[in-house]
Amino acid sequence: MSLPSYEKLGVFYLGREFDPGSGKLGADLLYDSRDLTTHAVCIGMTGSGKTGLCLSLLEEAALDGVPAIAIDPKGDIANLALTFPELRAQDFRPWIDEGEAARKQQTPDEYAAATAEQWRKGLAEWGQDAERVGRLRAAAEVTIYTPGSDAGRPLSVLRSFAAPDAAALADATALKERIGSAVSGLLALLGIEADPIRSREHILLSALLDATWRSGASPDLAALIQGVQKPPFDKIGVFDLETFFPAKDRTELALRINGLLAAPGFEAWLHGEPLDVQRLLYTQDGRPRVAIISIAHLNDAERMFVVTLVANELVAWMRRQSGTSSLRALFYMDEIFGYFPPSAMPPSKLPMLTLLKQARAFGIGVVLATQNPVDLDYKGLGNAGTWFIGRLQTERDRARVVDGLLGSEGGGGLDKGGLEQLLANLGQRTFLVRNVHDDAPVLLRTRWAMSYLRGPLTLAEIGRLTPRAATPVSSTAPAAAVGSTAPGGSRKSVASGSGGSRPIVEHGVTERFLETSAPGAPHYRPFIGARVRAHYVDAKAGLDAWQTTYWLAAVGADGPDWDTAEAHADPGPRFAVGPAAGASYDDVPGAALSPREYKRWAAALEDSVARSGSMSLWTCPPLKLTATPGASEGEFRAQVALALREKRDAAVEALRSKYASKIATLEDRTRRAEQRVEREKTQASNQTLSTALAVGGGLLGAIFGGGRRRSTLRQAETAARNMGRAGKERADVEHAEADVHALRRQIEALESQLADEVAALEVQYDPGAVRIEEKPVKPRRSDLAVDDVALIWAP
């Protein structure tokens, strides 16, 4: 059976409807992607096919251009990276289980060939082929992250202690939730069970994060250790600090955090890509990504820490997005047992509850799966609009799921007895699907997964799937330069001297020292730094924004060369409290040691920015969209893709509504025509019987009637008339059947026309085909302001 031509446009092909009575498969089950914004729960024991169903869901999302973050506690979600468009035996060969091959008395090569053939046949049985696998591979990048390990792509978690933006700081509830779960995650990593209300450790760290974030600082673990020892406040509540948490006890807490920082192997947690949701969901060029965060190699405390931080970052990112009714992104977690219990409140539960309650408005779908249905908070899961229920191990499991489903929004229209009977008889790869957007539940037999379901992957196997071309970026590195706002983009260096002492500057000159993480005593080079506030206005693009940047220019005998300076995004580079011990210094031009020239240099910077500075603004003329100031090309392409998906979903819905009434009318006429066929067949059958009786009576009369000739002639005449009527009835049946066939052809033609029009929308709303442009916007000279001009020492 071929797939519908519109299967990529907002609908997910999950399998086919299943009739338990006949054991036969029915129509394709096409799940509306927008239904996932009301979230989904998938429950099934080992061997039920739960993993295959969830991976198919992620495959369909990727095909539709929807990015996803998937937390993988076992290692089998990483199978999404095992897609082989050519379905060759040699593609499967590195990933087969050689032990299984030996048990089947096959060589590894034979088993790989058999597996490739099995996958080819399995896909074909479900209307899929190698071309669809190729489209899946091209649609989204699959990246496996391994926090705490460099086997996959390393993921730094320290960015999660970065100060939130101004909007998040202004939202008291959101700020409290983020601080609370971040602190709970850290304490769980330390092995401290902390009540947010009673625990001194939790209250102190929460107060410390709150004070640090409000000051604009972003602490790492080292800064937290210093803050615990010497907090920037004297009171907590009404108690003074020493009464509430004496210095001796605070030192013990600081030592525990330091022990974590100094533990062997912990440096792996400090390196890698930052935990940035936008970067997890999209590549730099705006291509959607399936980000698999593998935590199978971590202990329980580390797993809780990672899950909590990821969920927290997703909540914070979510609140910065615009509202949408289309599916923007997916958050999937397998095996949530222990992370979402009914009564306890582990650190992971609060952000997950927040997502279940609020993510719908932002187009984020949450999919949670488990094989242990007993220890789940079904009250919280009542926010899920779709339930996929597979085979369960015990009656207790089934009873718990029945109670949870009937008590949720997804239980409408179900009776307990019928539900229990259905669940008791489910087979492998068969799921009861209850979707609140549909009229009634259906049974689903899941389709063949396009990814090779190899089973859990080890760290070594994940390493084979991870390219090693790029060096991981440390989240603790200084802020990168914003080259797009700089007139030029290269830094003019000053030749290093022989290592002189620090020069003496006159009163009125501000000195600052850039932070350095390099070991040993640094050698400082002189730069001139200044803060610039500029106003960018473009009425056509709807732009009216202020932007603050920090400029650094090498200083020579003629002063700073602003035309080759680099600009840093606000708040600029990170400065240390003072110079590092034992540092050496380059020679400095005399003008930089006196405040007299700094005013002139500020005016020169203002003139340079007015002449050459600009804000690069990404625009999409066909959609009349303009990026927010500072957005990268990749971020804007993601914005464009979402806008196109919203327009596509609306257009598809309009088309389906347009054709629905026509198809419904024809289907109604078809039903009436079919009823007429049945009536005509009945009449024709009755007339045929009557004719047969009349003919039979006439013959008997002729044979045995003797003198009843006249009666026999009348019977013959009656038989002849009946035969004529029977012929007419048969003709009526043929005419009625022809009407049914004609109506069915009309329905097929309408459905084909609908499919063609929907397929045309795929081209019309293809994100890869839409044109985007980079538009430079000059600052208003009258609004330019330069201040904070200083002598900057850079190591």
The CATH number for 348's domain is 3.40.50.300
- At 738-761, the pLDDT tens digits run 777 777 787 777 777 777 777 777
Locate 10 and state its tokens: 């907002």
Asked if pLDDT for residue 134 goes beyond 70, the answer is: yes
| Tally of domains in the chain | 3
Q: What value does the mean pLDDT take over residues 153-169? A: 75
Least confident of 213-227, 532-546, 667-681: 667-681
Sorted by sequence, the CB contacts under 8 Å of residue 105 that are 6+ apart come out as none
Asked if pLDDT for residue 172 goes beyond 90, the answer is: no
DSSP 714-743: HHHHHHHHHHHHHHHHHHHHHHHHHHHHHH
Q: How many CB atoms lie within 10 A of CB 205?
A: 24
Task: Give the pLDDT band of residue 483 (cuts 50, 70, 90).
Answer: very low
- At 339-376, the pLDDT tens digits run 999 888 888 898 999 999 999 999 999 999 998 887 78
Least confident of 64-78, 263-277, 328-342, 491-505: 491-505
- Domain ranges, residue 642: 633-773
Highest mean pLDDT among 85-89, 505-509, 557-561: 85-89
Q: Quick one: 8 and 137 in the same domain? A: yes
Least confident of 6-15, 47-56, 128-137: 6-15
Query: What pLDDT score does 140 carry?
Result: 94
Q: In the chain, what percentage of residues exceed pLDDT 90?
A: 37
- At 368-385, the pLDDT tens digits run 999 888 778 888 888 899
Query: What pLDDT score does 78 carry?
Result: 96
Instruction: Please indicate, yes or no, if residue 41 is contained in any of the structural domains.
Output: yes
**Listed residues 440, 467, 494: the one ending a domain:** 467
Q: Quick one: 588 and 720 in the same domain? A: no
Instruction: Please indicate, yes or no, if residue 136 is contained in any of the structural domains.
Output: yes
Least confident of 1-5, 19-23, 28-32, 507-511: 1-5
Q: Quick one: 306 and 448 in the same domain? A: yes
Task: Kindly report each contact of residues 321-325 with a partner whose C-beta sits within 8 Å and lies 24 or more positions away, as own/partner.
Answer: 321/362, 321/363, 322/362, 323/361, 323/362, 323/363, 324/362, 324/363, 324/642, 324/646, 325/34, 325/37, 325/363, 325/646, 325/649
Instruction: Please indicate, yes or no, if residue 477 is contained in any of the structural domains.
Output: no
Task: Give the pLDDT band of residue 87 (cuts 50, 70, 90).
Answer: very high
The rounded distance, in Å, linking the Cα atoms of 73 and 67 is 20
Asked if pLDDT for residue 3 goes beyond 70, the answer is: no
Query: What pLDDT score does 65 carry?
Result: 92
Label the pairing between strands 575-576 and 511-514. antiparallel
Among residues 384, 299, 334, 453, which one has the least CA distance to residue 71? 334
Q: Quick one: 518 and 408 in the same domain? A: no
The rounded distance, in Å, linking the Cα atoms of 391 and 414 is 18
Instruction: Please indicate, yes or no, if residue 212 is contained in any of the structural domains.
Output: no
Asked if pLDDT for residue 477 goes beyond 70, the answer is: no
Helical ranges in 378-425 per DSSP H: 378-381, 395-406, 416-424
Question: Which secondary structure element, helix H or strand E, spans residue 434, and what is its range?
Answer: strand 430-435
Q: Cα 637 to the chain's mean position, in Å?
A: 16
- At 300-331, the pLDDT tens digits run 988 998 998 899 889 988 988 889 989 999 99
Asked if pLDDT for residue 657 goes beyond 90, the answer is: no
Asked if pLDDT for residue 263 goes beyond 60, the answer is: yes
Give 336: exposed, middle or buried? Use CB within 10 Å, 0-12, 13-18, 19+.
buried
Instruction: Please indicate, yes or no, if residue 407 is contained in any of the structural domains.
Output: yes
CB 533 within 8 A of CB 780: no
Task: Kindly report each contact of residues 655-661 with a partner whose C-beta sits within 8 Å and lies 24 or more positions away, as own/partner.
Answer: 655/754, 655/757, 655/758, 655/761, 656/754, 659/750, 659/751, 659/753, 659/754
Q: Quick one: 737 and 788 in the same domain? A: no
Q: What's the 3-state SS for 248-272? A: HHHHHHHHHHHHHHHCCCHHHHHCC
Query: What pLDDT score does 1 carry?
Result: 43
Higher-pLDDT residue of 298, 487: 298
The CATH number for 706's domain is 1.10.287
Asked if pLDDT for residue 494 goes beyond 80, the answer is: no
Task: Give the pLDDT band of residue 623 (cuts 50, 70, 90).
Answer: confident
Task: Give the pLDDT band of residue 715 (cuts 50, 70, 90).
Answer: low
Q: Quick one: 760 and 782 in the same domain? A: no
Asked if pLDDT for residue 423 goes beyond 90, the answer is: no
Instruction: Please indicate, yes or no, if residue 169 is contained in any of the structural domains.
Output: no
Question: Which secondary structure element, helix H or strand E, spans residue 136, and what is its range?
Answer: helix 130-139
- At 631-655, the pLDDT tens digits run 888 888 888 888 888 888 888 888 8
Task: Give the pLDDT band of residue 791 (cuts 50, 70, 90).
Answer: very high
- Tokens 């086997």 — which residue? 151
The rounded distance, in Å, linking the Cα atoms of 78 and 717 is 83
Radius of gyration in angstroms for the set of CA atoms belonging to the chain, rounded to a whole number:
36
Q: Quick one: 412 and 352 in the same domain? A: yes
Asked if pLDDT for residue 292 goes beyond 80, the answer is: yes
Q: Quick one: 366 and 498 in the same domain? A: no
Task: Give the pLDDT band of residue 473 (cuts 50, 70, 90).
Answer: very low
Asked if pLDDT for residue 497 goes beyond 60, the answer is: no
Mean pLDDT over the full length of the chain: 83
Instruction: Please indicate, yes or no, if residue 762 is contained in any of the structural domains.
Output: yes
Least confident of 133-142, 412-421, 594-603: 412-421
Query: What pLDDT score does 491 carry?
Result: 35
Asked if pLDDT for residue 274 goes beyond 80, the answer is: yes
The rounded distance, in Å, linking the Cα atoms of 300 and 319 is 29
Q: How many CB atoms lie within 10 A of CB 472?
A: 15
Q: Quick one: 588 and 639 in the same domain? A: no
Q: Which amino acid is at 6?
A: Y
Q: What value does the mean pLDDT take over residues 406-418? A: 60
| CA-angle at 715, arms to 714 and 717, nearest 5° | 65
Query: What pLDDT score does 126 carry?
Result: 93
Q: Quick one: 565 and 543 in the same domain? A: yes
Q: Quick one: 412 and 277 in the same domain? A: yes
Higher-pLDDT residue of 194, 278: 278
CB 88 within 8 A of CB 116: yes
Instruction: Please indicate, yes or no, if residue 160 is contained in any of the structural domains.
Output: no
Q: Quick one: 297 and 355 in the same domain? A: yes
- pTM, entire model: 0.75
